[in-house]
Amino acid sequence: MQYKRFYYLIELQYLGFRYHGWQKQPDVLTVEHMLGKTLNYVLEGQRFKVIAAGRTDAMVSVNQTYAELFVYEEMLDLDTFLPLFNKNLPQDIKCLSIKETTADFNIIQHPKLKEYLYFFCVKEKMHPFCAPLMVNLQEDLDIELMKEGALLFEGDHDFYSFAFRSNPETKTEGTIDVCQLKENDIYTANFFPETSYVLKVVGEGFKRQQIRLMMGALIDLGRHRIDLSDLKKIIDGKNKIKLEHIAQASGLILNSVQLKN
């Protein structure tokens, strides 16, 4: 039997600290699982399917992203659906908006510009309330050197060393439009450290754990375990240097996804 299908674009945000990433997995709590559970309740068993604009790893949060929602048989009343959906979602997941789209729209293939933020602080032990949003490196890092290193990632590169578990078919070339490390003035709270830092990275596409591998390399630079010339060699994919330092996930936020025309 052929069911009629309706197409929607939903805009989401969530705190990833208690989730094992986006993708549904057996025996662990994921964002996709909770989204599906809520949709099944709100839609009263009506058939549906959700495809995300991209997956996030365990403990990674999202300020704004998109997912495509396919609903079968009956069209949604968006005025009533959105408040009902949010009322039943967990408190750490929010639907920002929903709108109709068309059958030819593909959330995976559609060009996107993504902005990632990685928050961290150094030296003193941070307040425990910071843990879902920030990584505490209780040591003295050379922040000015890390700022210089971050700029080296901008432009066109073969990011072989920053593609986690790549295979011969993995396309490792890419472009980073912005890579900047600075004092954090983006997210603040009265329990945040007096000084914290953020790595801002903007580009069209990233490999699995790429931002965390980049941050790991910058931390090693700040510890003087590598220098700027070493980092340049790592960024040059033809050197095929394998990295092992993956920065902790909880400092990473997918801040925004812009759908390009």
Strands 112-122, 135-137: parallel, antiparallel or unpaired by DSSP?
Answer: parallel
In this prediction, residue 203 carries a pLDDT of 95
Q: Is 72 annotated as a binding residue?
A: no
Average pLDDT of the segment spanning 81-85: 96
H helix runs in the chain, sequence order: 31-42, 78-88, 143-151, 210-222, 228-235
CA distances from 112 to 68, 69, 180, 209 (A): 14, 18, 20, 18
Average pLDDT of the segment spanning 239-257: 93
**pLDDT confidence of 188, banded at 50, 70, 90?**
very high
**pLDDT confidence of 73, banded at 50, 70, 90?**
confident
pTM, full prediction: 0.94
57 is known as an active-site residue:
yes
Residue 261 confidence (pLDDT) above 80: no
**pLDDT confidence of 167, banded at 50, 70, 90?**
low
Selected catalytic residue, list 57, 140, 220, 227? 57
Mean of the per-residue pLDDT values of the chain: 93
* 8 A C-beta contact, residue 107 and residue 65: no
Residue 36: strand, helix, or coil: helix
Average pLDDT of the segment spanning 146-164: 94
Residue 1 confidence (pLDDT) above 60: no
Residue 228 confidence (pLDDT) above 70: yes
Average pLDDT of the segment spanning 162-168: 76
